Amino acid sequence: MTTPDISPPPNFIRNIVEEDIKNNKNNGQVLTRFPPEPNGYLHLGHAKSICLNFGLAKDYKGRCHLRFDDTDPTKESMEYVLSFQEDVKWMGFDWGQHRYFASDYFDKLYDFAVLLIKKGKAYVDSLSADEIREYRGTFTEPGKESPYRNRPIEENLDLFSRMKAGEFPDGAHVLRAKIDMASPNIVMRDPVIYRIRKIDHYRTGSQWCIYPMYDFTHCLSDSMEGITHSICTLEFEINRPLYDWVLDALETPCHPQQIEFAKLNLTYTLLSKRKLIQLVEEKYVSGWNDPRMPTISGLRRRGYTPEALQNFCERIGVAKSNSTVDFALLEHCLREDLNERAPRVMAVLRPIRVVIENYPENQIEELECPNHPTNPEMGTRKIPFSQVLYLEQEDFMENPPKKFYRLAPGREVRLRYAYFITCTSVVKDDKGNITELRCTYDPATRGGDAPDGRKVKATLHWVAAGHAIKAQVRLYDHLFTTPDPEDGGDFKANLNPKSLEVLSDCQLEPALRDAKPGTRYQFERMGYFCADSDSTPEQLVFNRTVTLKDEWVKIQKGEKK
Ligand code: ATP
Ligand code: MG
């Protein structure tokens, strides 16, 4: 596992683009595209590609197209299209008028295929799919030419138009580029460029029963849109000769440059729509936007900010070789952003009742607290203090070990913004479980300081019992137990059974009563939280976005591997 530099140097793609601008290649223009297939929801890997493509366009005053690469009618849908649009916008990018669909090019792509046949560079093959595979050869052995390879052009044209007309069943024929069955690059051994699929398409309905393949569609879509730099991930490197071959064979006026970069891989995370869809369909998660999912919609619901994702994408940089990024870096970027923007509030997640014996029973004090420790412009709020409070169960121990400095019998601690309290006794039920703590307070310590200068070792958060709002809080852990979810071969075997913990008796300070879904806070000492889309004024629901403990800082200091 490699850990990226915090400030990456200008990346190799930027260098290429800058060189091209300097040489006035493409008239100095930069046109990129983000071309997802609408067969799932966008994930963090796509975020990297979005930041790269839209980012280049922004920085070099060009433009970036949003293109739906929708040539496989079996898996695509409008739901996915709409979700992509929402996600790209949320990430902070804008395609303006430039939204395209490969399916809008079906007529043109068909014409290109006809032209390729006329040039003698494509033929209709009638071998079965299995035979085609067999004839293709292997990495070590050359392929074998199909007996249909030398069909006359007229016959190819006739068959191809009848394929389009729906005269043949699926698999009866395919259209193949006529390149070189002995090429050392398997991709170049007469790749299939059209196939029969008698399936309705979510946009073109039953208009087509032949569909173009990715390698044929992608380069031509780029070319028709005038893309200058066609940026894709490394696994397409071996397809680059085919990208170039198609455009050369058709002598297109625009020939974009394909540039490959390394995919984002992240520990404890799967970045593949094909696999993520299994988690959704087999109900391992509540949906594509389950806050544990690495999808943009899941991260949004969890409370991530677009700024944090952009910052993360900048820090990981763009490289030419594959590596895996530590999830802790993503969380570090998130904390940096939330630390600045999230107002502080107090919330007790696992409450224990505390009675301040010497505090007047019906007295309520309003204590003024800052909403942010270092940004005074975020203002203040008043929180009530009363005789009965809730503290966090984990902040009390009846028999504390040496290094436990929080509340214990006889011990004095500070309640944040309030008073010093001392625990005087513990109340238990018949089974010996602690049900209540009895404490006294020192009225002289109002605001949290002792005039006599005496010190306490802990400051605890709290809420006033009579004013607290009950809420549900969902705590999350990684969706997988292993840094590489594919460890052992079956990612589902590595799912973390404890990735979600629901706490239903959390007590929040009254300021949170009107928290709208999507609002983010720091619950002091407990982490950053975001009101969930399920949250209503009657039943508040919060997601823990991230804890406060920054593993990345430890990794940087070499304290943790
Ligand atoms: P998936 O396996 O999730 O379906 P994909 O590459 O098939 O991924 P597409 O929707 O076809 O997804 O890709 C859209 C764009 O996003 C492509 O340019 C692709 O290279 C890029 N992309 C996809 N996954 C990653 C990743 N992990 N890191 C960086 N870019 C990615
Ligand atoms: Mg795909």
Q: Where are the domains of the chain?
A: 349-461
* Ligand 1 proximity of 102 Cβ (cutoff 6 Å): no
Kindly give the distance from the C-alpha atom of residue 510 to the centroid of ligand 2, in angstroms, as a whole number. 47
Kindly give the distance from the C-alpha atom of residue 180 to the centroid of ligand 1, in angstroms, as a whole number. 29
* 38: phi then psi, degrees, rounded to nearest 5: -75, 70
- The 3-state secondary structure of 501-532 reads EEEEEEEECHHHHHCCCCCEEEECCCEEEEEC
* Ligand 1 proximity of 259 Cβ (cutoff 6 Å): no
* Ligand 1 proximity of 37 Cβ (cutoff 6 Å): yes
Kindly give the distance from the C-alpha atom of residue 473 to the centroid of ligand 2, in angstroms, as a whole number. 35
Q: Which ligand is nearest to the CA of 43?
A: 1
* Ligand 1 proximity of 58 Cβ (cutoff 6 Å): no
User: How far apart are the C-alpha atoms of 309 and 117, rounded to whole Å?
Assistant: 46
* Ligand 1 proximity of 275 Cβ (cutoff 6 Å): no
Query: Taking CA 558 as the corner, what is the angle to CA 552 and CA 559, rounded to the nearest 5 degrees?
Result: 80
What pLDDT sits at residue 559? 73
User: How far apart are the C-alpha atoms of 297 and 518, rounded to whole Å?
Assistant: 12
> Nearest to residue 80, comparing CAs of 91, 90, 69?
69
* Integer CA distances (angstroms), 164 to 19, 175, 300, 531, in order: 44, 11, 43, 52
Contact (CB, 8 A) for 229 and 256: yes
Kindly give the distance from the C-alpha atom of residue 271 to the centroid of ligand 1, in angstroms, as a whole number. 8
Contact partners, residue 211, CB within 8 Å, separation at least 6: 71, 72, 73, 106, 194, 195, 197, 201
* Ligand 1 proximity of 38 Cβ (cutoff 6 Å): no
> Nearest to residue 129, comparing CAs of 76, 173, 77, 88?
173
Write the residue with the smallest CA distance to atom 13 of ligand 1. 36
* Ligand 1 proximity of 3 Cβ (cutoff 6 Å): no
* Ligand 1 proximity of 322 Cβ (cutoff 6 Å): no
DSSP state of 149: T
What pLDDT sits at residue 223? 98
Kindly give the distance from the C-alpha atom of residue 482 to the centroid of ligand 2, in angstroms, as a whole number. 25
* Ligand 1 proximity of 48 Cβ (cutoff 6 Å): yes
Kindly give the distance from the C-alpha atom of residue 438 to the centroid of ligand 1, in angstroms, as a whole number. 58
pTM: 0.94
The CA-based diameter of the chain, rounded to the nearest angstrom, is 102
* Ligand 1 proximity of 190 Cβ (cutoff 6 Å): no
Class of domain 349-461: mainly beta
Q: Which two tokens stand for residue 553?
A: 């800082």
Kindly give the distance from the C-alpha atom of residue 520 to the centroid of ligand 1, in angstroms, as a whole number. 29
* Ligand 1 proximity of 46 Cβ (cutoff 6 Å): yes
**Closest atom, ligand 1, to C-alpha of 264:** 28
Give the CA radius of gyration of the chain.
Answer: 31
Q: Which of 48, 69, 100, 233 to mutate to test the pocket of ligand 1 (most atoms within 8 A of CB)?
A: 233
Contact (CB, 8 A) for 137 and 144: yes
Kindly give the distance from the C-alpha atom of residue 310 to the centroid of ligand 1, in angstroms, as a whole number. 17
Q: Which residues sit opposite 501 in a β-bridge?
A: 475
Kindly give the distance from the C-alpha atom of residue 141 to the centroid of ligand 1, in angstroms, as a whole number. 31
What pLDDT sits at residue 9? 53
* Ligand 1 proximity of 217 Cβ (cutoff 6 Å): no
Q: Which ligand is nearest to the CA of 46?
A: 1
Write the residue with the smallest CA distance to atom 18 of ligand 1. 232
* Ligand 1 proximity of 51 Cβ (cutoff 6 Å): no
* Ligand 1 proximity of 233 Cβ (cutoff 6 Å): yes
One digit per residue, the tens of pLDDT, for the chain of length 561 reads 444 444 445 899 999 999 999 999 999 999 999 999 999 999 999 999 999 999 999 999 999 999 999 999 999 999 999 999 999 999 999 999 999 999 999 999 999 999 999 999 999 999 999 999 999 999 999 999 999 999 999 999 999 999 999 999 999 999 999 999 999 999 999 999 999 999 999 999 999 999 999 999 999 999 999 999 999 999 999 999 999 999 999 999 999 999 999 999 999 999 999 999 999 999 999 999 999 999 999 999 999 999 999 999 999 999 999 999 999 999 999 999 999 999 999 999 999 999 999 999 999 999 999 999 999 999 999 999 999 999 999 999 999 999 999 999 999 999 999 999 999 999 999 999 999 999 999 999 999 899 999 999 999 999 999 999 999 999 999 999 999 999 999 999 999 999 999 999 999 999 999 999 999 999 999 999 999 999 999 999 999 999 999 889 888 888 765
Q: Which of 46, 50, 313 to mutate to test the pocket of ligand 1 (most atoms within 8 A of CB)?
A: 46
Kindly give the distance from the C-alpha atom of residue 46 to the centroid of ligand 1, in angstroms, as a whole number. 6
**In this structure, which residues have their CB less than 5 angstroms from ion ligand 2?**
37
Contact partners, residue 360, CB within 8 Å, separation at least 6: 387
User: How far apart are the C-alpha atoms of 483 and 333, rounded to whole Å?
Assistant: 19
Kindly give the distance from the C-alpha atom of residue 274 to the centroid of ligand 2, in angstroms, as a whole number. 8
User: How far apart are the C-alpha atoms of 489 and 501, rounded to whole Å?
Assistant: 27
**Closest atom, ligand 1, to C-alpha of 265:** 27
